[in-house]
Structure 1
Amino acid sequence: MIENKSKYSQLIKSEAKRLGFISCGISKAQFLEEEAPRLENWLNKNMQGEMHYMENHFDKRLDPTKLVEDSKSVISLLLNYYPSQEQTVNSYKLSKYAYGTDYHFVIKDKLKQLLHFIQEEIGEVHGRAFVDSAPVLDKAWAAKSGLGWIGKHSNLLTQQVGSFYFIAELIIDLELEYDLPTTDHCGTCTKCIDACPTQAIVEPYVVDGSKCISYFTIELKENIPSEFKGKFDDWMFGCDVCQDVCPWNRFSKPHNEPLFNPHPDLLSMTKKDWEEITEDVFKELFQKSAVKRTKFEGLKRNINFIKD
């Protein structure tokens, strides 16, 4: 039986690699004891802002067996999105993860292929794929399964890789061989805390989501509070500052997923181009992009807030 667990785990990891994932780690599906008080404390301090969905399904966020009946294993996967080219210097900025096709579609497809492979090779295995789409604490699971540690900016960090990757999970009802967590390698570094334009990293490992530029430019539907005027550093969708300054990201290598490549016109657009963008150009540029979440009006609001 133990031999099987090891064999199946290796089989799954090699297929994950074939599908383009840079890492795959496995942990036991059980209640996240350490995360429970942290999440409760974060919510009690209203650091979720208007992201009220964060308050829902508290028990499901912490217990995968409530999401997938009789689940035994959480398979965590990382997919690189670091681009080979970035936007022109004189431009309003998009977070690098949003350059290409919406990652939800790209990863969901790969996860379905992986689950199908498991069922074909191993037998009757039930499970669900998760990409940001349900109450799953993906960073906590990835850290638990040894794929990295959670940095002071609250993103997952991996030695020799950095943090420019998506995290996804398969939760399945098959027992596997479980990986061990890695250690924290942030040391005394505080670059992410010092560089955050809105001081959203209120203490090491704690981000006040209601002060984050990503929250303002994507999640917040109302007007952006005027107290943050002049603090956006030209970010119109998301923000990469805490990742850009992180020393571990000097190891980032460009992805090789064609679907993450940007629309040809996107990288060369200047501030003037963005200020004059029409709804038709928006639709053309972001046809299958995560930027659609903010909608045309939302992007215009963000640009006007930075510009005025």
Structure 2
Amino acid sequence: MINNKSKYSQLIKDEAQRLGFLSCGISPSGFLEEEAPRLEKWLKNNAHGEMRYMENHFDKRLDPTKLVEGSKSVISLLLNYFPSEIQNPESYQLSKYAYGTDYHFVIKDKLKELLHTIQTEIGDVNGRAFVDSAPVLDKAWAAKSGLGWIGKHSNLLTQKVGSFYFIAELIIDLELEYDHIVSDHCGTCTACIDACPTEAITEPYVVDGSKCISYFTIELKDNIPSEVKGKFNDWMFGCDICQDVCPWNRFSKAHSEPLFNPHPELLDMTKKDWEEITQDTFSKVFQKSAVKRTKFSGLQRNINFLK
């Protein structure tokens, strides 16, 4: 007789694949014992800078049963965003994840469909979908679900496809078959640590968020401190340096999600085009993009800082 946990887990993974997810792993919902002291230390060191929201819901961050009452399983999913074409390397740079439609919308729709299938095929299952939008330690859960290991740059890494993908979760009140943790394959490599121009990776596996180019160009609302002038390597929104230099990203393959394709004008824009960008062009090129988060004024501030 087929074990129901096994049957349901396979059904979920098959549906995730049909929806275009790169991979799907499952772990038991519960307290993240190893992450608790790490998170506490990271916050105590003020490595979150002005991202004060990181201090909120400490208990919920570490225990999804406090976030989704009665939850039994955390289903972690990866969605590839590695582009087939990249920006003009001589231009100001955007993080690759921001080329197309804001991932929150794209993934949320897929997760709703996945939950609907689970409820239709299995029955009365309750749960919530999360895409980087609630106190969920997504990288920790993805690693716990066997989808990869946390690299020295603190991103999730896999041997087959590197790290250019989004992570999302479905936390549900159904017991399933759980996956095993995979081993770390960073070895003695320090490419990401050596390449970071602002020295944000303070030691292997520890990133000081308040020193990261992504933090300065997206999260920080005040003026960018003058001491980091000249250290941004032309990154105006986010930064991919630590991922670009990672040897495992040689295996990245182009995504097949049309919504992640960039606006046609984006790839060809020169530095001069960016410096002269108007509110109208910004609204047209980034109509549904994550770049809207920094607003036109924020992008202008970043570009002026790079000039």
The residue matched to 2:231 in structure 1 has which SS?
coil
Give the letter for the 2:131 counterpart.
V
Structure 1 residue 142: Cα displacement: 0.2
Partner of 1:281: 281
How many angstroms does 1:181 deviate by?
A: 0.4
Alignment of 1:179-194 (within 5 A): 179-194=179-194
| d(CA) in 1 for partners of 2:182, 2:169 | 18
Name the aligned partner's letter for residue 261 of structure 1: N
Structure 1 residue aligned with 2:68? 68
Q: Which residue number corresponds to residue 13 of structure 1?
A: 13
Q: Distance in 2 between matches of 1:73 and 1:90?
A: 46
User: 1:150 and 2:150 equivalent?
Assistant: yes
- The aligned counterpart of 1:113 is 113
Q: Which amino acid aligns with 1:199?
A: E
Corresponding residue of 1:270: 270
CA–CA distance in 2 between the matches of 1:79 and 1:206?
24
State how far apart, in whole Å, the 2-side matches of 1:90 and 1:192 are.
22
Pairs within 5 Å for 1:209-220: 209-220=209-220
Post-superposition offset of 1:90 = 1.8
**1:160 Cα deviation after fit:** 1.1
Q: Compute the displacement of 1:264 (Å).
A: 0.3
For structure 1, the residue ranges without an aligned partner over 5 or more in a row are: none
Q: Does 1:138 align with 2:141?
A: no
Q: If the length of structure 2 is used for normalisation, what is the TM-score?
A: 0.99
CA distance in 2, matches of 1:252, 1:138: 20
Partner-residue secondary structure (3-state), 2:83: coil
User: 1:2 Cα deviation (Å)?
Assistant: 7.5
**Cα deviation code 1:204-240 (max 9, x no counterpart):** 0000000000000000000000000000000000000
Q: Does 1:241 align with 2:241?
A: yes
Give the aligned partner of residue 33 of structure 2: 33
Q: How does 1:40-51 map to 2 (within 5 A)?
A: 40-51=40-51
Corresponding residue of 2:93:
93
CA distance in 2, matches of 1:304, 1:290: 20
Q: Which residue of 1 aligns with 2:198?
A: 198
Deviant stretches of 4+, over 4 Å = none
Distance 2:298 2:133 in 1: 22
1:252 corresponds to: 252
How far apart, in 2, do the equivalents of 1:76 and 1:126 lie?
16
What is the rounded CA distance, in whole Å, between the counterparts of 2:13 and 2:217 in structure 1? 36
Q: What secondary structure is seen at the aligned counterpart in 1 of 2:59?
A: helix
Amino acid across the alignment from 1:212: C
**1:74 partner SS:** strand
| TM-score, length-scaled by structure 1 | 0.99
SS of 2:84's partner is coil
- Mapped to 2, the partners of 1:75 and 1:90 lie a distance apart of 40
User: Which residue does the alignment assign to 1:168?
Assistant: 168
Aligned-pair distance for 1:157? 0.0
1:36 alignment partner, SS class:
helix
Aligned partner letter, 2:114: L
**Cα deviation digits, residues 80-106 of structure 1 (max 9, x gap):** 000000001221000000000000000
Q: Equivalents in 1 of 2:67, 2:23: separation in Å?
A: 23
Structure 2, unaligned runs of 5 or more? none
Percent identity over the alignment is: 84
Residue 298 of structure 2 corresponds to: 298
Q: Distance in 2 between matches of 1:56 and 1:67?
A: 13
| Aligned counterparts of 2:25 and 2:213: Cα–Cα separation in 1 | 30
2: CA distance between counterparts of 1:133 and 1:152? 24
What does the per-residue CA deviation read over 1:47-78, in whole Å, with 9 as the maximum and x for residues that have no partner? 00000000000000000001111000000000
SS in 2 for 1:79: strand
Q: Secondary structure at the match of 2:114?
A: helix
